[in-house]
Structure 1
Amino acid sequence: MSVTTTTHLNFRGTAGEALDFYRSVFGGRTVAVTYKDVGAVRNESEADWVMWGEVVGDDGFHVMAYDVPSQLPWNQGENSFFVSVRGDEAEEISALWGKLAEGSTIVSPLEPAQWAPLYGMLTDRFGVTWVLDVTTPYNG
């Protein structure tokens, strides 16, 4: 079993630009999936915004990012990041979710998603927002 944590940065329309910048600073590779790529466009002007993106460096650097859609609240100074917990096994992620969920506010229940066998988001009783998912290769 393996679990990793990664800083997950939140933007409003500039995630792609930020990912490109971080890649230019730290090196590595960038993956960016837009709302249009996965058929999740709610606002046509946001179709090319990043729904899920990351920069992974050969030296271990890893940062994730996305553009918060306009129908969700976002304030750069209040919710500019999540902590992303990724694991290889559904049982492991489910167990972590169960513990973190105590006293939390569920933002998105832990369940299968179009891009992952399991995905969920919650804000814990300390105000930290966590994203948990089971890893799967992106075949876009």
Structure 2
Amino acid sequence: MLIQPYLFFNGNCRQAFDFYRDALGAEYETLMRYRDSPEPPPPECAPPGWEDKVMHASLRIGSLRLMGSDDGSGQTARPQGFSLSLSVPDADAADRVFAALADGGSVIMPLGETFWSPRFGMLTDRFGVGWMIGVEA
């Protein structure tokens, strides 16, 4: 069994995934726009003008697959009640990734030493997604 995070955005999925690609050194596995669909999407999923919005995207971040899309239903709200937890190999990587993801976002807990990790911090990125960055003890 495998759990993979899938994030929904309100029209800015491409910007978010480009940001994650650059901040985390990720690679696109998939990027499909609504116009790429072999069948027209239902109007409740992709309103007029959403042809170039993301129907499905997938990034490879180390061994993780992060997926997402633009939700044209108008029901997308800021993510809450969870954070994506990212383990990095050392303090330098933690500093680099934390700074990149925090750019334009807000720091909840600055990076620092904790009893469970030599470096740990929490933030919300500019797209409203929560992240916990930690060095594996």
TM-score normalised by L of structure 2: 0.48
- Where is the strand percentage greater, Structure 1 or Structure 2? 1
Structure (1 or 2) with the larger CA radius of gyration: 2
TM-score in terms of structure 1 length: 0.47
